[in-house]
Amino acid sequence: MPILDLSQISIVSRSSYPGQLAEAVSGRSWQALGDVGGITQFGVNLVFIEPGSASSLRHYHLEQDEFAMMTEGELVLVENEGEIVMRPGDCAAWPAGQENGHHLVNRSDKRAAFLVVGTRTLTETAIYSDIDMMVTDTPGAENNFTRKNGSPLTADQIGDRK
Amino acid sequence: MPILDLSQISIVSRSSYPGQLAEAVSGRSWQALGDVGGITQFGVNLVFIEPGSASSLRHYHLEQDEFAMMTEGELVLVENEGEIVMRPGDCAAWPAGQENGHHLVNRSDKRAAFLVVGTRTLTETAIYSDIDMMVTDTPGAENNFTRKNGSPLTADQIGDRK
Protein backbone atom coordinates (compact mmCIF):
# COMPACT_ATOMS: atom_id res chain seq x y z
CA MET A 1 0.00 0.00 0.00
CA PRO A 2 1.26 3.54 -0.70
CA ILE A 3 0.45 4.56 2.87
CA LEU A 4 3.73 5.36 4.59
CA ASP A 5 4.62 3.89 7.97
CA LEU A 6 6.32 6.89 9.52
CA SER A 7 7.51 4.82 12.49
CA GLN A 8 9.68 2.82 10.07
CA ILE A 9 11.16 5.69 8.06
CA SER A 10 14.70 6.77 8.95
CA ILE A 11 15.26 10.20 10.42
CA VAL A 12 18.35 11.64 8.77
CA SER A 13 20.41 14.70 9.53
CA ARG A 14 23.14 16.19 7.39
CA SER A 15 24.14 19.48 5.83
CA SER A 16 26.10 20.36 2.74
CA TYR A 17 26.80 23.88 4.05
CA PRO A 18 30.53 24.62 4.02
CA GLY A 19 32.53 25.10 7.19
CA GLN A 20 30.92 26.55 10.27
CA LEU A 21 27.78 27.49 8.35
CA ALA A 22 26.42 24.01 9.03
CA GLU A 23 26.04 24.86 12.70
CA ALA A 24 22.88 26.86 11.99
CA VAL A 25 21.10 23.64 11.03
CA SER A 26 22.74 21.25 13.50
CA GLY A 27 19.35 20.62 15.13
CA ARG A 28 17.59 19.85 11.85
CA SER A 29 16.60 16.34 10.80
CA TRP A 30 14.00 14.89 8.44
CA GLN A 31 12.17 11.93 7.04
CA ALA A 32 12.28 11.78 3.24
CA LEU A 33 8.63 10.85 2.78
CA GLY A 34 8.51 11.49 -0.96
CA ASP A 35 11.61 9.45 -1.68
CA VAL A 36 10.37 6.57 0.45
CA GLY A 37 7.01 6.75 -1.32
CA GLY A 38 8.73 6.52 -4.71
CA ILE A 39 7.81 9.93 -6.07
CA THR A 40 10.39 11.87 -8.04
CA GLN A 41 8.80 15.02 -9.50
CA PHE A 42 8.78 16.86 -6.20
CA GLY A 43 10.41 16.21 -2.86
CA VAL A 44 8.37 15.87 0.34
CA ASN A 45 10.17 15.93 3.68
CA LEU A 46 8.86 15.93 7.23
CA VAL A 47 11.42 18.19 8.90
CA PHE A 48 12.15 18.36 12.63
CA ILE A 49 13.78 21.43 14.17
CA GLU A 50 15.19 21.30 17.68
CA PRO A 51 15.16 24.40 19.90
CA GLY A 52 17.83 26.89 18.79
CA SER A 53 18.17 25.48 15.32
CA ALA A 54 16.91 26.67 11.94
CA SER A 55 15.49 24.95 8.87
CA SER A 56 18.23 26.44 6.66
CA LEU A 57 20.17 29.61 6.14
CA ARG A 58 17.77 32.26 4.86
CA HIS A 59 17.48 31.75 1.10
CA TYR A 60 15.25 31.70 -1.96
CA HIS A 61 15.16 29.44 -5.00
CA LEU A 62 15.38 30.55 -8.61
CA GLU A 63 13.77 27.52 -10.25
CA GLN A 64 11.86 25.56 -7.64
CA ASP A 65 8.53 26.32 -5.96
CA GLU A 66 8.37 25.54 -2.24
CA PHE A 67 5.43 24.94 0.09
CA ALA A 68 5.31 24.15 3.82
CA MET A 69 2.69 23.20 6.40
CA MET A 70 3.47 23.23 10.11
CA THR A 71 2.69 19.96 11.87
CA GLU A 72 4.14 20.30 15.39
CA GLY A 73 5.30 23.01 17.80
CA GLU A 74 6.11 26.57 16.93
CA LEU A 75 8.59 28.10 14.50
CA VAL A 76 9.36 31.68 13.54
CA LEU A 77 9.28 32.35 9.82
CA VAL A 78 11.91 34.97 9.01
CA GLU A 79 11.59 36.75 5.68
CA ASN A 80 12.51 40.04 4.01
CA GLU A 81 9.40 41.71 5.44
CA GLY A 82 9.90 40.54 9.00
CA GLU A 83 8.94 37.66 11.23
CA ILE A 84 5.78 35.71 11.96
CA VAL A 85 5.11 32.74 14.24
CA MET A 86 3.86 29.56 12.57
CA ARG A 87 1.87 26.87 14.38
CA PRO A 88 0.37 23.51 13.32
CA GLY A 89 -1.88 23.92 10.29
CA ASP A 90 -0.23 27.17 9.19
CA CYS A 91 0.98 27.11 5.60
CA ALA A 92 3.34 29.18 3.49
CA ALA A 93 4.26 29.17 -0.19
CA TRP A 94 7.40 30.50 -1.86
CA PRO A 95 7.15 30.75 -5.65
CA ALA A 96 10.36 30.15 -7.58
CA GLY A 97 12.28 33.31 -8.35
CA GLN A 98 10.65 35.58 -5.78
CA GLU A 99 13.59 37.25 -4.07
CA ASN A 100 12.20 36.76 -0.59
CA GLY A 101 14.73 34.91 1.52
CA HIS A 102 13.10 32.73 4.17
CA HIS A 103 13.84 30.21 6.86
CA LEU A 104 12.13 28.81 9.94
CA VAL A 105 13.78 29.22 13.33
CA ASN A 106 12.91 27.37 16.51
CA ARG A 107 12.99 29.88 19.36
CA SER A 108 10.78 27.72 21.58
CA ASP A 109 11.88 25.10 24.09
CA LYS A 110 10.22 22.19 22.26
CA ARG A 111 10.85 20.35 19.01
CA ALA A 112 8.87 21.67 16.06
CA ALA A 113 8.10 20.07 12.70
CA PHE A 114 6.74 20.89 9.28
CA LEU A 115 5.98 19.16 6.00
CA VAL A 116 7.81 20.76 3.09
CA VAL A 117 7.39 20.23 -0.65
CA GLY A 118 9.81 21.42 -3.32
CA THR A 119 9.91 20.80 -7.04
CA ARG A 120 12.69 18.58 -8.36
CA THR A 121 14.57 20.17 -11.25
CA LEU A 122 17.73 19.16 -13.11
CA THR A 123 19.40 22.46 -12.29
CA GLU A 124 18.84 24.89 -9.47
CA THR A 125 20.29 27.99 -7.87
CA ALA A 126 19.52 29.17 -4.35
CA ILE A 127 20.55 32.62 -3.17
CA TYR A 128 21.33 33.27 0.50
CA SER A 129 19.90 36.52 1.79
CA ASP A 130 22.12 37.35 4.75
CA ILE A 131 25.55 36.33 3.45
CA ASP A 132 27.42 36.57 0.15
CA MET A 133 26.72 33.00 -0.93
CA MET A 134 24.75 31.05 -3.49
CA VAL A 135 24.55 27.37 -4.35
CA THR A 136 24.11 25.87 -7.79
CA ASP A 137 23.11 22.35 -8.71
CA THR A 138 23.82 20.98 -12.16
CA PRO A 139 23.82 17.31 -13.15
CA GLY A 140 27.02 15.81 -11.76
CA ALA A 141 27.93 18.97 -9.83
CA GLU A 142 25.58 19.44 -6.92
CA ASN A 143 25.94 21.68 -3.92
CA ASN A 144 28.42 24.03 -5.55
CA PHE A 145 28.64 26.82 -2.98
CA THR A 146 30.22 30.09 -4.15
CA ARG A 147 30.02 33.81 -3.60
CA LYS A 148 27.20 35.52 -5.48
CA ASN A 149 29.62 36.53 -8.25
CA GLY A 150 30.62 32.87 -8.69
CA SER A 151 34.04 33.16 -7.05
CA PRO A 152 35.12 30.76 -4.28
CA LEU A 153 34.02 31.32 -0.72
CA THR A 154 36.82 32.41 1.57
CA ALA A 155 37.71 30.63 4.81
CA ASP A 156 36.62 33.79 6.55
CA GLN A 157 33.19 33.66 5.03
CA ILE A 158 32.37 30.11 5.92
CA GLY A 159 33.24 30.82 9.52
CA ASP A 160 30.72 33.64 9.41
CA ARG A 161 27.56 32.51 11.12
CA LYS A 162 25.52 35.70 11.15
CA MET B 1 4.37 37.54 3.69
CA PRO B 2 4.03 34.13 1.98
CA ILE B 3 2.24 32.75 5.04
CA LEU B 4 -1.32 31.91 4.01
CA ASP B 5 -4.30 33.11 6.01
CA LEU B 6 -6.51 30.03 5.71
CA SER B 7 -9.46 31.87 7.25
CA GLN B 8 -9.49 34.16 4.21
CA ILE B 9 -9.11 31.54 1.48
CA SER B 10 -12.30 30.52 -0.38
CA ILE B 11 -13.56 26.98 0.00
CA VAL B 12 -14.66 25.81 -3.43
CA SER B 13 -16.58 22.75 -4.55
CA ARG B 14 -17.09 21.55 -8.09
CA SER B 15 -16.66 18.45 -10.20
CA SER B 16 -15.97 17.93 -13.88
CA TYR B 17 -17.25 14.33 -13.70
CA PRO B 18 -19.95 13.72 -16.30
CA GLY B 19 -23.55 13.00 -15.40
CA GLN B 20 -24.40 11.25 -12.17
CA LEU B 21 -20.76 10.38 -11.54
CA ALA B 22 -20.33 13.74 -9.81
CA GLU B 23 -22.52 12.55 -6.94
CA ALA B 24 -19.65 10.51 -5.52
CA VAL B 25 -17.79 13.75 -4.72
CA SER B 26 -20.75 15.97 -3.81
CA GLY B 27 -19.39 16.32 -0.26
CA ARG B 28 -15.91 17.32 -1.40
CA SER B 29 -14.58 20.88 -1.19
CA TRP B 30 -11.14 22.44 -1.02
CA GLN B 31 -8.94 25.46 -0.52
CA ALA B 32 -6.45 25.96 -3.35
CA LEU B 33 -3.49 26.80 -1.13
CA GLY B 34 -0.83 26.49 -3.84
CA ASP B 35 -2.71 28.71 -6.28
CA VAL B 36 -3.35 31.33 -3.62
CA GLY B 37 0.32 31.19 -2.66
CA GLY B 38 1.34 31.78 -6.27
CA ILE B 39 3.07 28.48 -6.95
CA THR B 40 2.57 26.82 -10.33
CA GLN B 41 4.84 23.77 -10.60
CA PHE B 42 2.69 21.62 -8.34
CA GLY B 43 -0.79 22.04 -6.94
CA VAL B 44 -1.47 22.01 -3.20
CA ASN B 45 -5.06 21.72 -2.00
CA LEU B 46 -6.50 21.34 1.49
CA VAL B 47 -9.42 19.03 0.77
CA PHE B 48 -12.49 18.55 2.99
CA ILE B 49 -14.62 15.41 2.73
CA GLU B 50 -18.05 15.27 4.35
CA PRO B 51 -19.42 11.98 5.71
CA GLY B 52 -20.53 9.70 2.88
CA SER B 53 -18.47 11.42 0.23
CA ALA B 54 -15.22 10.50 -1.50
CA SER B 55 -12.16 12.44 -2.63
CA SER B 56 -12.63 11.26 -6.23
CA LEU B 57 -13.58 8.22 -8.20
CA ARG B 58 -10.88 5.59 -7.76
CA HIS B 59 -8.12 6.46 -10.25
CA TYR B 60 -4.42 6.69 -10.97
CA HIS B 61 -2.37 9.23 -12.93
CA LEU B 62 -0.04 8.45 -15.80
CA GLU B 63 2.16 11.57 -15.64
CA GLN B 64 1.71 13.21 -12.26
CA ASP B 65 3.05 12.19 -8.85
CA GLU B 66 0.61 12.63 -5.95
CA PHE B 67 1.17 12.90 -2.20
CA ALA B 68 -1.29 13.34 0.66
CA MET B 69 -1.14 13.96 4.42
CA MET B 70 -4.24 13.61 6.60
CA THR B 71 -4.96 16.69 8.69
CA GLU B 72 -8.40 16.08 10.25
CA GLY B 73 -10.79 13.21 10.99
CA GLU B 74 -10.66 9.78 9.47
CA LEU B 75 -10.79 8.56 5.88
CA VAL B 76 -10.58 5.11 4.34
CA LEU B 77 -7.98 4.78 1.61
CA VAL B 78 -9.26 2.32 -0.99
CA GLU B 79 -6.70 0.85 -3.38
CA ASN B 80 -6.12 -2.23 -5.50
CA GLU B 81 -4.75 -4.12 -2.52
CA GLY B 82 -7.57 -3.27 -0.16
CA GLU B 83 -8.48 -0.64 2.40
CA ILE B 84 -6.73 1.13 5.23
CA VAL B 85 -7.90 3.83 7.63
CA MET B 86 -5.95 7.11 7.55
CA ARG B 87 -5.81 9.56 10.47
CA PRO B 88 -4.11 12.94 11.01
CA GLY B 89 -0.39 12.74 10.27
CA ASP B 90 -0.75 9.65 8.08
CA CYS B 91 0.80 10.08 4.63
CA ALA B 92 0.57 8.29 1.31
CA ALA B 93 2.38 8.67 -2.01
CA TRP B 94 1.26 7.62 -5.47
CA PRO B 95 4.02 7.70 -8.09
CA ALA B 96 2.93 8.58 -11.63
CA GLY B 97 2.17 5.58 -13.78
CA GLN B 98 1.70 3.02 -11.00
CA GLU B 99 -1.55 1.31 -11.88
CA ASN B 100 -2.91 1.44 -8.36
CA GLY B 101 -6.26 3.18 -8.36
CA HIS B 102 -6.95 5.05 -5.14
CA HIS B 103 -9.41 7.34 -3.45
CA LEU B 104 -10.29 8.39 0.09
CA VAL B 105 -13.78 7.73 1.40
CA ASN B 106 -15.36 9.26 4.49
CA ARG B 107 -17.26 6.49 6.29
CA SER B 108 -17.21 8.37 9.60
CA ASP B 109 -19.81 10.80 10.92
CA LYS B 110 -17.44 13.79 10.98
CA ARG B 111 -15.78 15.96 8.36
CA ALA B 112 -12.28 14.83 7.40
CA ALA B 113 -9.50 16.70 5.62
CA PHE B 114 -6.15 16.15 3.97
CA LEU B 115 -3.43 18.14 2.26
CA VAL B 116 -2.75 16.88 -1.25
CA VAL B 117 0.07 17.72 -3.64
CA GLY B 118 0.14 16.88 -7.34
CA THR B 119 2.56 17.83 -10.08
CA ARG B 120 1.34 20.25 -12.72
CA THR B 121 1.97 18.98 -16.24
CA LEU B 122 0.89 20.26 -19.66
CA THR B 123 -0.79 16.98 -20.49
CA GLU B 124 -2.21 14.27 -18.27
CA THR B 125 -4.25 11.10 -18.37
CA ALA B 126 -6.03 9.58 -15.40
CA ILE B 127 -7.46 6.08 -15.54
CA TYR B 128 -10.50 5.12 -13.45
CA SER B 129 -10.21 1.71 -11.83
CA ASP B 130 -13.80 0.69 -11.25
CA ILE B 131 -15.48 1.96 -14.42
CA ASP B 132 -14.62 2.07 -18.13
CA MET B 133 -13.49 5.71 -18.10
CA MET B 134 -10.38 7.82 -18.47
CA VAL B 135 -9.79 11.55 -18.64
CA THR B 136 -7.18 13.34 -20.71
CA ASP B 137 -5.95 16.89 -20.38
CA THR B 138 -4.18 18.60 -23.25
CA PRO B 139 -3.64 22.33 -23.65
CA GLY B 140 -6.99 23.79 -24.68
CA ALA B 141 -8.85 20.51 -24.17
CA GLU B 142 -9.07 19.71 -20.48
CA ASN B 143 -11.31 17.22 -18.73
CA ASN B 144 -11.93 15.12 -21.82
CA PHE B 145 -13.74 12.10 -20.34
CA THR B 146 -13.98 9.02 -22.57
CA ARG B 147 -14.09 5.26 -22.38
CA LYS B 148 -10.66 3.65 -21.98
CA ASN B 149 -10.54 2.97 -25.75
CA GLY B 150 -11.10 6.68 -26.40
CA SER B 151 -14.72 6.36 -27.55
CA PRO B 152 -17.48 8.53 -26.06
CA LEU B 153 -19.06 7.61 -22.77
CA THR B 154 -22.64 6.42 -23.09
CA ALA B 155 -25.54 7.93 -21.17
CA ASP B 156 -25.83 4.60 -19.46
CA GLN B 157 -22.27 4.72 -18.22
CA ILE B 158 -22.38 8.14 -16.69
CA GLY B 159 -25.46 7.15 -14.73
CA ASP B 160 -23.42 4.24 -13.37
CA ARG B 161 -22.24 5.12 -9.90
CA LYS B 162 -20.61 1.88 -8.80
- The pTM assigned to this predicted structure is 0.95
- Which residues from chain A sit within 8 angstroms of residue B6, using beta carbons? 89-91
Residue B160 has pLDDT above 60, yes or no: no
* Residue in A6, A40, A91 nearest the CB of B65: A40
Q: Give residue B122's pLDDT.
A: 95
Read off the pLDDT of residues B92-126 as tens digits, 9 standing for 90 and up: 999 999 999 999 999 999 999 999 999 999 999 99
> Is residue B4 very low, low, confident or very high in pLDDT (cuts 50, 70, 90)?
very high
Report DSSP letters for A28-56, one per residue: EEEE-HHHHTT--SEEEEEEEE-TT-BSS
Asked if B92 and A1 come within 8 Å (Cβ–Cβ), the reply is: yes
Residue A162 has pLDDT above 60, yes or no: no
Which of B59, B56, B74, B67 lies closest to B34 in space, CA to CA? B67
Residue A66 · residue A118 · CB < 8 Å: yes
Mean of pLDDT values over A70-90: 97
> Is residue B157 very low, low, confident or very high in pLDDT (cuts 50, 70, 90)?
confident
Mean of pLDDT values over A130-144: 95
Which of A29, A35, A69 lies closest to A48 in space, CA to CA? A29
d(CA B93, CA A41): 12
User: In angstroms, what separates the C-alpha of A9 from chain B's closest C-alpha?
Assistant: 12
d(CA A46, CA B75): 21
- Which residues from chain B sit within 8 angstroms of residue A124, using beta carbons? none
Q: How far lies B93's CA from each of A148, B8, B66, in Å?
A: 37, 29, 6
> Is residue B65 very low, low, confident or very high in pLDDT (cuts 50, 70, 90)?
very high
User: In angstroms, what separates the C-alpha of B51 from chain A's closest C-alpha?
Assistant: 21
B-contacting residues in A 123-162 (Cβ below 8 Å):
none
d(CA A151, CA A21): 18
> Is residue B136 very low, low, confident or very high in pLDDT (cuts 50, 70, 90)?
very high
Residue B156 has pLDDT above 90, yes or no: no
Q: Give residue B87's pLDDT.
A: 98
Domains observed in chain B: 24-146 (2.60.120.10)
Asked if A115 and B69 come within 8 Å (Cβ–Cβ), the reply is: yes
B-contacting residues in A 35-74 (Cβ below 8 Å):
36-42, 44, 46, 64-67, 69, 71
User: In angstroms, what separates the C-alpha of B24 from chain A's closest C-alpha?
Assistant: 23
Read off the pLDDT of residues B23-47 as tens digits, 9 standing for 90 and up: 999 999 999 999 999 999 999 999 9
Q: Is the ipTM of this complex over 0.90?
A: yes
- Which residues from chain B sit within 8 angstroms of residue A115, using beta carbons? 69, 115
Q: Give residue A160's pLDDT.
A: 57
Residue B2 has pLDDT above 90, yes or no: no
Q: Give residue A158's pLDDT.
A: 85
